[in-house]
Amino acid sequence: MMSLVSYLIISLILFIVGLVVIIARKNIVAILLGIELILNAAALNFVAYSRYVTNNLDGHVFSLFIIVIAAAESAIGLAIVIRFFQIKETIHIDEATQLRN
Amino acid sequence: MEYTVGNIAPIILSPVIAFVINAFFGSKLPRKGDWLATLSIFISFIFSARVFGDFVFGNFATDYFIHKTFTWFDLSYGANIWKVDMGIYIDNMTAIMLTMVSGVAFLIHLFSTWYMDHDEKHGRFFTFLPLFTSAMLGMVISDNLFSLFCFWEIMGFCSYSLIGIYVKKEKAGDASLKAFMTTRVGDVFLLLGIVALWMTLGSVAYVDIYAAIAEGKFAGQTVMGISLATFTALCIFLGAMGKSAQFPLHVWLPDAMMGPTPGSALIHAATMVTAGVWISLRMYPLMVLGDITWFIAVIGAITAFGAATVAMVQTDIKAVLAYSTLSQLGYMIIGVGVGSYNAAFMHVITHAVFKACLFLSAGSIIHSVHEQEMPKLGGLRKYMPYTHFAMMACTLAIAGIPFFSGFVSKDRILGDALYFGFMAGQNPLLAIVPILGFAGAGLTAFYMFRMMFLTFYGENRMGHHDSHGDHHGHGDHHGHEIHHEHLDARQNVPLLILSVFTLGVWFAGSLTGQGIVKVFGSKTEWFKILVEAPKVERFVNHPRESFGSTDARVKAELPKAVYVHQTGYAGPNPDEHKIHSAHVIGAILSIIIAFTGVFIAFLMYIKKSINPLASKFPGFTTTLENKYYFDNFYIDVIIKKGLLGLNRFLSWFDMGIFDRFAVDGWAAVNRVLFKASKWFDNVVVDAIGVDGTGVAVNLFNLVLRIVQSGKIQFYFIMLIVVLASYIWTVNI
Amino acid sequence: MFIQLLFGLSALLTVGCAIAVAVTKNIMHSCVFLLGSLLGIAGLYATLGADFVAVTQIMVYVGGVVILMLFAVMLTGGKDFVSRAQNLLGLAPAMGNKWTFSVGLLVGLVVILTNVKLIMNIAKAYPAKVIGNDFPSTVSQIGHLLVKEHVLAFELSSVLLLGALVGAAIIARPRKQG
Amino acid sequence: MNQTIVSYLSQYEFYDSLLCLFGNNEGLLAFVIYLLVALIIIGFSATVGGLGTYAERKISADLQARMGPNRVGPYGLLQFLADGVKMLTKEDIMPFTADKFLFYLAPMLALVGVFATLAVLPWSNGFMMADLNVGIFYLIAISSLVGVSVFLGGYASNSKWSMLGGMRGASQIISYEIPVTLSILAITLLAGGMSFGTILSHQEGTIINWFIFHNPFAFLAFFIYAIGALAETNRAPFDLPEAESELVSGYHTEYTGLRFGFFALAEYIEVFVVCGVGAALFLGGGNLPFNIQIDIIPLQLVQVVIFITKALLLYYVVIWVRWTLPRLRVDQLMSICWKYLTPMAILNLVGCAIWLVVFNGKSMADLVFGSH
């Protein structure tokens, strides 16, 4: 039941779901949720490989860094969302087509 | 014997703690935390004194040292060793220097609590002073050039802050900027030298450098066409020149006197400027290997003599002392250059003591009478007996009068210089080193006594400058009635302690104390026993010790220091007999010259039977008063003439050459091309190109409008699809 | 047995909540389902013997990121917006409609096809091997790795976090109007 | 390998006979043991939580020179049972515009977050459900579920008061997690591990071996932890999320009946948990204040009693503080956390590290009385 491939399949499902969320949703916060799912799929892969393939803890360290980066990304991303909302009064992604104003 | 973090770290850390506390909470502490700074320095003094006692009274062999390291950070990956070690390196020199720095710093802190009382910058002053002291101590105890450089830069920053501490004075700001910028020139070279060493040796610890010298690892290595040894030695010495204010990077030091006087005493007299001498001494084997000692000696001689001449005509009491500092630093550098290793180091110590005392005395005068122009002082002997006593002792010392410390060290440097210049078979032009050295010694005696006579003797010329006396806040005295010394212990005790240490016996004496200490040619001078140029062979394959490991060597098994009859001369072509005679000649000459200087000063300023120089050589005096026009040279010639001239040349080049030939010529060529292109334009471009492009753009636009929508999700989809097709095709 | 059970439950929680994130109409509920999914991933980490990573996952996501997300949803109203901008597929509501989901699923299908190939290759390269249920403590080893081999990344991530902190504060601060 | 209650019991002989009883199915036996222990702990904690309400009312009455509950049972001891019955029988009201899913979820999440922490609480040296390698870290992490539940409860009620209370609660819990975690990190540094077993084993022996007396920084860390823990559990003087005078009842204004009971129970159990953690980290946990090496079951029970006594003493202090100090303002709350507690906690951590390096890991007592 538990093997490298089972973890990879779970991670693949997470990735696909994250992808669908990113593409299908138009709400920026929802897209950030999708990004979190994708990042977690990657981190899960790292840890799984570290147990089943490399037998050292580098994968754990990498997934820790992924967690750090995800935290930083969501902080910055949500700050941008709030700022965007202040300016446009909407957080629809299709409104964010210009680099200024 | 046990050297652990616990009993070494307080030397550096206790002032740092005081710095941190004062920096953040200083304004809330009673007396702005000056007691905390003073206490912290006292703690480091206690710990340093313990090291001193261990080493000096332990009578270890001269080349005994303690070197303990720990890994600061380790970025080694696989076979690539990239590890940065920090550590301590303590030998006799370190022990002496630590004690000197912390002791002098403690006395200066104590004095400053009196001097800076009620000053608006009280708190900030006592924030930077301990940090500065700790950086100096850290530099002394460092075991490698990298951490030395870190502490070196902290010192640079602290001196910047302390010179410019009166931020509202424009001159103070300028002076601090000047000091920072000038020393930066040297620091860049120092860093270059350190990096070059690191790249080639893989380590910058002293012991590794010494071992590399002994093993001949430098042989055949070159950097930019010069041999590695010469390159690194020169770079490191240039760094030392910046810090020790050697010609031509000396311009910052006289201006650095804008800060409070005790700050000047610590920074620009006693300790920081000796950092350059310190690194030159530590890297002495490298200097010898790189064959630049003659250069060092010449630079030192020029500084020593030049600064002494300028000091003769200064009227500001602090300026005289500043130039005398320059001059004395020159002597130390001469000492390094001519191979007078232990005398140069001894001069560092003796000079630190008497120069600190001189500056504190000057501070005492300035703070009491609010005047620092010597022509307006005079006759202060009656009013300030203690200050007079201390300052006279130090003046005797710096002037090289026998039985005082300055004589012991300077005489030995000059003796070695004499040998180096005339008898060692060097280039005859190097005879300039002892000549300038002796001349400078005479001038030193002259200008120091000029300062003494103008300040403390003769009639009181304070006259009616009562505007100075008033902002002290006491209403009960007027300008022409100088108040007597307040006799504050914090003011006078440091002066008296320091003046006691200007006696030669402390430095030339014997440790075992057999009978009365012999000053002349004593066979058992402790300095000679304890300090000598590092013997590089000893460091080959020396085992590393880390903190926490107990010292493998047991104290009882260590060889004791044994006096071997040595001259202390480490320069080229030593010949013991000739060196001895050079020393005797040097001693006699320097005594004669010193007394001549004193006598001339006496005639000029007490008897007034000879006119001061100014009236006879107005041109020369003006040159001196303008400090050889160095500042003007840097500003007028290098910046104005040099840069503006370059500008003018570039402008001429632009207008005359580039404009005429390139631009106009290009225009002519263009005219021809234009005709050709007109035809081409009409026929080919307009018909096919323009109209065709319009059609193409229209077509292309249809695609781009869809693709470049600014919709991030669409971009994302394309990214995924492309990536997926890539993965599918490359067959991973 | 416990580990098998934990794996099954965690995988179920992860996948189920992830799908719920995708299909639920309410963004607030999406956030809460994301929380469940992340907790499930922490459980999966635990089955892989990555105790420290698992707890860090809970700590950072539950304690930080999800609450941040909830705050953001609340501050931006959390209601549906209709775009004023034209899209290829016309006006789309904020939480997507059947067209956007079809496009998403199509792209997902492409990725699945790609990855199935990869995973099959991996399964061939690393045939299932039995790994015992011994889970040594990873904490001290990770500590050593962080300050030795990965020290540069460690320091960089601290700089990154500082940058994110300052950046978020600067971007989101209220500006003077007009 | 993680120490658990099962692996602790397996060293005694009766474990083997139990194993025979279950037909040598170790997994089943472990499951049963875990289930039993979990039931005992949850039952005990729920009782403590319930009695907490009684203690709170009784102590506050004492401090205010009143009688307090005295009708139900001896000294009113059964008051909490009566309250519980009342809650169970009340109507479960849901606001019309509430977000139903989140409204149901929030109280559960609170209770789950609190009960999950009980898994690692060290009742004695041996009696721990699981002595995880990352024990204390796990406890901090999983208890942040309570923050989410407070926020969700406030949001789902769709009421202004609830919303304000929920936002205050979430931001307060997130903020105070930082000083609490940093002060716990200092202790982790001293113990050299994050598992409660390691932490407790370092505090064996006499009272001077407790971490609170290890060095001055650890002493200060205890007070930072205490203040931060008060704020994390939304207790007075930091009970802003449920400030009665401003927000009616804060995030659980709209909750009634059993759901309100869940929130209340979660709060009281969480107070007990943080008191227990404080006792374990700083006050030696189940260790007696004098030197006895304990490794048999009856003495483990003595340890359990000692641990609970220490935790309840801290519990008393918490209640005492509640009825003594006035409530803070929101800005004061945040400035205490970010301007005072966090920098102090960081300095503490650095100070502890420096202490360890300089004195080679010896405690103050070791320095004074000589190490052993």
pLDDT in tens, B597-655: 888 888 887 777 766 655 566 666 666 666 666 766 666 666 666 777 787 888 888 87
Number of domains chain B is built from: 3
Asked if B720 lies within 8 A of C107 by C-beta distance, the reply is yes
CA geometry: angle D242, D244, D245, nearest 5 deg: 130
> What is the span of the domain harbouring residue C147?
137-178
Q: How many angstroms separate the CA atoms of B680 and C53, rounded? A: 70
Mutate to test the interface with D, among C2, C59, C61, C165 (most CBs of D within 10 A): C59
Q: How far is B5 from chain D (nearest CA, A)?
A: 6
In this complex, which of C35, C136, C139 lies closest to D148 when CB atoms are compared?
C35
Asked if C113 lies within 8 A of B727 by C-beta distance, the reply is no
For residues B93 and B6, membership in a common domain is answered with: yes
Q: How far is C164 from chain B (nearest CA, A)?
A: 22
Asked if B720 lies within 8 A of C110 by C-beta distance, the reply is yes
For residue B259, tell me if it sits in a domain: yes
For residues B273 and B383, membership in a common domain is answered with: no
For residues C109 and C147, membership in a common domain is answered with: no
For residues C26 and C74, membership in a common domain is answered with: yes
Yes or no: say if B411 and B590 are a contact pair by the CB < 8 Å rule: yes
Last residue of a domain, one of B290, B306, B326: B290
List all residues 6 or more positions away from D57 whose beta carbon is below 8 Å from its beta carbon: D68, D69, D79
Distance of CA C13 to the CA centre of its chain: 13
> Which band of pLDDT confidence, cut at 50, 70 and 90, is reported for residue C171?
confident
Q: Going by DSSP bridges, is the β-strand pair B222-223/B226-227 parallel, antiparallel, or unpaired? A: antiparallel
Residues of C in contact with B711 (CB under 8 A): 87
For residues C47 and C116, membership in a common domain is answered with: no
Residues of C in contact with A30 (CB under 8 A): 27, 30, 94-95
Mutate to test the interface with C, among A64, A83, A95 (most CBs of C within 10 A): A64
Q: Going by DSSP bridges, is the β-strand pair B66-74/B545-546 parallel, antiparallel, or unpaired? A: parallel
Mutate to test the interface with A, among B711, B714, B719, B723 (most CBs of A within 10 A): B711
Asked if D147 lies within 8 A of C67 by C-beta distance, the reply is yes
Secondary structure (DSSP) of B545-575: EETTSPPSS-GGGSPBP---------SSS--
Residues of C in contact with A95 (CB under 8 A): 83-85
Residue A101 at interface with chain B, using a CB cutoff of 8 Å: no
Using CB atoms, which chains have 3+ pairs under 8 A with C?
A, B, D
Asked if B75 lies within 8 A of C118 by C-beta distance, the reply is no
For residues B21 and B169, membership in a common domain is answered with: yes
Domain definitions of chain A by residue range:
4-95
Q: Residue D18 corresponds to which amino acid?
A: L
* CATH code of C55's domain: 1.20.120.1200
Asked if D141 lies within 8 A of C32 by C-beta distance, the reply is no
**Which chain D residue is nearest to residue B7, measuring alpha carbons?**
D358
Per the rule left: phi > 0, alpha: psi between -120 and 50, beta: everything else, B549 is beta
In this complex, which of C88, C117, C148 lies closest to B728 when CB atoms are compared?
C117
> Which band of pLDDT confidence, cut at 50, 70 and 90, is reported for residue A40?
very high
Residues of B in contact with C148 (CB under 8 A): 74
Which one, of B248, B269, B402, lies nearest residue B324 by Cα? B269
Mutate to test the interface with C, among A7, A46, A74, A98 (most CBs of C within 10 A): A74
* Three-state SS at A35: helix
What is residue B61's predicted lDDT score, i.e. its pLDDT? 65
Residues of B in contact with C110 (CB under 8 A): 720-721, 724
For residue B566, tell me if it sits in a domain: no
For residues B256 and B391, membership in a common domain is answered with: no
- In the predicted model, what is the mean pLDDT of chain A? 84
Residue C125 at interface with chain B, using a CB cutoff of 8 Å: no
Q: How far is B171 from chain C (nearest CA, A)?
A: 37
Which 54-83 residues of chain A touch chain B by CB within 8 A?
none
Residue C88 at interface with chain B, using a CB cutoff of 8 Å: yes
In this complex, which of A19, A31, A97 lies closest to B720 when CB atoms are compared?
A19
Residues of B in contact with C152 (CB under 8 A): 75
Number of domains chain D is built from: 1
For residue B560, tell me if it sits in a domain: no
Last residue of a domain, one of B265, B290, B315: B290
Which 16-75 residues of chain C touch chain D by CB within 8 A?
26, 28-29, 32, 35, 51-52, 55-56, 58-59, 62-64, 66-67, 70-71, 74
Mutate to test the interface with B, among D344, D350, D354, D358 (most CBs of B within 10 A): D358
For residues B469 and B579, membership in a common domain is answered with: yes
What is residue B478's predicted lDDT score, i.e. its pLDDT? 42
**Which positions of chain D have pLDDT values less than 50?**
1
Tell me the residue ranges of DSSP E strands in chain C.
Answer: none
Which one, of B117, B109, B171, lies nearest residue B134 by Cα? B109
For residue D301, tell me if it sits in a domain: yes
Which one, of B398, B190, B411, B436, lies nearest residue B303 by Cα? B436
For residues B374 and B237, membership in a common domain is answered with: no
CATH T-level assignment (fold) for domain A4-95: Helix Hairpins (1.10.287)
Q: How many angstroms separate the CA atoms of D249 and A78, rounded? A: 30
Q: How many CA atoms lie within 13 A of C148 on its CB side?
A: 13
Yes or no: say if B447 and B605 are a contact pair by the CB < 8 Å rule: no
For residue D272, tell me if it sits in a domain: yes
For residues C2 and C73, membership in a common domain is answered with: yes
Asked if D105 lies within 8 A of C32 by C-beta distance, the reply is yes
Residues of B in contact with D357 (CB under 8 A): 5
Q: How many angstroms separate the CA atoms of A86 and A75, rounded? A: 17
Yes or no: say if C92 and C84 are a contact pair by the CB < 8 Å rule: no
For residue D133, tell me if it sits in a domain: yes
In this complex, which of C87, C110, C121 lies closest to B732 when CB atoms are compared?
C121
**Which chain B residue is nearest to residue C149, measuring alpha carbons?**
B75
Using CB atoms, which chains have 3+ pairs under 8 A with B?
A, C, D
Q: How many CA atoms lie within 13 A of A51 on its CB side?
A: 31
For residues B2 and B71, membership in a common domain is answered with: yes
Number of domains chain C is built from: 3
Asked if C62 lies within 8 A of D137 by C-beta distance, the reply is no
Peptide bond into D237 cis (omega under 30): yes
Mean pLDDT value across residues C79-85: 51
Asked if C113 lies within 8 A of B77 by C-beta distance, the reply is no
For residue B553, tell me if it sits in a domain: no
Yes or no: say if D352 and D344 are a contact pair by the CB < 8 Å rule: no
**Which chain B residue is nearest to residue A26, measuring alpha carbons?**
B713
End-to-end CA distance of chain D: 29
CA geometry: angle B574, B522, B300, nearest 5 deg: 50
Using CA of residue B366, residue B369, residue B370, residue B376, what is the dihedral sign? negative
What is residue B464's predicted lDDT score, i.e. its pLDDT? 47
For residues B285 and B296, membership in a common domain is answered with: no
Asked if A23 lies within 8 A of B717 by C-beta distance, the reply is yes
Last residue of a domain, one of B290, B308, B327: B290
> What is the span of the domain harbouring residue D307?
93-369
* Three-state SS at B113: helix
Any contact of C with A, at least 3 CB pairs below 8 A?
Answer: yes
Is the ipTM above a cut-off of 0.95?
no
Asked if D1 lies within 8 A of C135 by C-beta distance, the reply is yes
Q: How many angstroms separate the CA atoms of C97 and C25, rounded? A: 10
For residues C118 and C143, membership in a common domain is answered with: no
Residue C114 at interface with chain B, using a CB cutoff of 8 Å: yes
Using CB atoms, which chains have 3+ pairs under 8 A with D?
B, C
For residue D9, tell me if it sits in a domain: no
**Which chain D residue is nearest to residue B17, measuring alpha carbons?**
D351
Yes or no: say if B333 and B411 are a contact pair by the CB < 8 Å rule: no
For residues C2 and C35, membership in a common domain is answered with: yes
**Which chain A residue is nearest to residue C167, measuring alpha carbons?**
A76
What is residue B644's predicted lDDT score, i.e. its pLDDT? 76
Mean per-residue pLDDT pooled into runs of 10, chain B (732 residues)? 73 88 81 84 89 73 77 71 80 87 90 82 85 90 88 89 83 84 87 87 84 83 82 90 84 81 81 87 88 88 87 83 89 88 87 89 83 76 81 87 83 85 77 86 87 81 50 43 61 84 72 41 63 80 68 54 61 76 84 86 77 61 68 67 77 79 84 86 76 82 75 81 81 62
For residues C66 and C92, membership in a common domain is answered with: no
> What is the span of the domain harbouring residue B350?
292-508+575-625
What is residue B144's predicted lDDT score, i.e. its pLDDT? 86
Residue B665 at interface with chain D, using a CB cutoff of 8 Å: no
Q: How many angstroms separate the CA atoms of B711 and B706, rounded? A: 10
